[in-house]
Structure 1
Amino acid sequence: MPQSNSNLPILYSLQHCPYAMRARLGILLAQQSVLIRAVVTKKKPAEMLAVSPKGTVPVLVIDHSAAAVENCDATIIDESVDIMLWALKLSDPENLLQGEDSSELEAMLALIRRNDKEFKPNLEVYKLAKRFHKKSEVADRQRCEEFVAELESRLENANYLMGDQASLADYALLPFIRQFARVDRKWYLQSPYPKLRDWLNRHLQAPLFTKAMAKYPLWLDCHETFLLGEN
């Protein structure tokens, strides 16, 4: 249902972008209310580019009344992990930040950085190799598997990546492992990563993921905002 509450933060989001998925998951997990503006890569709203010129999603505009005023600072967060942290520091009902131990948060962030800086670039190469039937496909996949195998090892004796409790790391990595699983589905289903498959399936089958993947009308088509999770 379209929303008109001008006091709520606005999230610019692309449905299948893993970084935008990450942000939506964090906001839903924190039970925060934001208005979502759905965008597409080829036609980005001028309003979004005005506050975040780099032109990538997600972009969270916390004070959009200020953003509309020239030379007036507004709180803009345009990094996906920062959006997750913003939301979960406001409310963390599942203790995903494991606030009782600050070293745990740093360990989560270190794993997420490795995902973003090492695994993600390798994943993009693997996806292209599969798409264009390159001879390097197996070698490209094997570079991804170095990180995947580490995650499998983490799950050997635990239900989640940081132990028996779900954490920020699980939800931050989820969209990227989902992508990896979809590149070559046949290979993935028989790959030596049964614990990771179980971990991924549990997340994908949860109602939270269904909410996070809800499709909204494009902002530039209707100029209507929608409450995230209420579509």
Structure 2
Amino acid sequence: MTRPLLYTYRRCPYAMRARMALIVSGIAFDAYEISLRDKPAAMLAASPKGTVPVLVLTSGEVLEESLQIMRWAFEQGFEPWWVGAQTPSNQALIALNDGAFKQQLDRYKYPERYVASEREMHRDQAVRGLLQKLEQRLAADAYLGDATACAADLAIFPFVRQFRAVDEAWFDAQALPATQKWLQNWLQSELFEQCMKKLPTNQHVIFSS
């Protein structure tokens, strides 16, 4: 294997942030777009947990977590992106995003899996828990790396995108102008366009950005 191999799923926010980190870092990699109903045996052998993203390095080492993949990617040559995410405030935002916000997002997006009558409660908790804190940060600076983007932006953006997609009109009507602008900037970025290119399912292909 001459390039790292990323097992991925286009719409998964964890896989999105891994792909974006690899693209930003300029790392040539292969990709395997999985089918959730027919996961490849090679991926399951490398990572029995069965979820994406999974990055298999040319050495055979397996990285099974998206933040682990991001760190590895940025340490290959774009380390300032990773360093910018290590401030206490950014670490707190990432932990909140991956913890309580993700739980609330799932309950808001998939009410049929949980208690449907509590959907709006979880939506509002997500706003108070993460989005208002994000708004305070972004009202002062364009990115979470202050004047420049960093890994924290990429780690959080896919989940805010998913939250907005549940009800775009409602999200856009909220008093979150800095967060809305930040989100739109990422949605309209060349990086996101490259990240979201469609790949054939269940095929090992060269990822060309």
Instruction: Give the TM-score, by structure 1 length.
Output: 0.84
Name the structure 2 match of 1:26. Answer: 21
Q: Which amino acid aligns with 1:227?
A: I
Separation in 1 of the partners of 2:97 and 2:19?
A: 18
Which one has the largest radius of gyration?
A: 1
Q: CA RMSD in A?
A: 2.0
Shift of 1:139: 1.2
Q: Contact between 1:158 and 1:164, CA under 8 Å: does it hold in 2? A: yes
Q: Contact between 2:56 and 2:63, CA under 8 Å: does it hold in 1? A: yes
Shift of 1:113: 1.8
Q: Deviations over 1:104-151 (max 9, x none)?
A: 614333321221011101110111238999332221111101211110
Name the structure 2 match of 1:52. Answer: 47
Q: Contact between 1:19 and 1:58, CA under 8 Å: does it hold in 2? A: yes
Q: Deviations over 1:35-62 (max 9, x none)?
A: 0011021110000000100000000000
Q: Contact between 1:25 and 1:212, CA under 8 Å: does it hold in 2? A: yes
- Structure 1's consecutive aligned runs of 4 or more residues displaced over 4 angstroms after TM superposition are 130-133
Q: Secondary structure at the match of 2:141?
A: coil
Q: Contact between 1:28 and 1:229, CA under 8 Å: does it hold in 2? A: no
Q: Gaps spanning 5+ residues in structure 1: where?
A: 1-5, 67-73
Separation in 1 of the partners of 2:141 and 2:41?
A: 45
Instruction: Give the TM-score, by structure 2 length.
Output: 0.92
Name the structure 2 match of 1:139. Answer: 121
Shift of 1:154: 0.7
Name the structure 1 match of 2:86. Answer: 105
Q: Gaps spanning 5+ residues in structure 2: where?
A: none
Name the structure 1 match of 2:201. Answer: 218
Q: Which is worse superposed, 107-116 or 138-147? A: 107-116
What percent of counterpart residues are identical? 36
Shift of 1:185: 1.2
**Among candidates 117, 128, 132, match of residue 110 of structure 2:** 128
Q: Does 1:82 align with 2:68?
A: yes
User: Cα gap change, 1:203/1:105 in structure 2, threshold over 3 Å: closer, same or farther?
Assistant: same
Matches within 5 A, 1:1-231: 6-63=1-58, 74-92=60-78, 95-98=80-83, 105-107=86-88, 108-129=90-111, 134-146=116-128, 147-219=130-202, 223=203, 225-230=204-209
Structure (1/2) with the larger helix percentage:
2
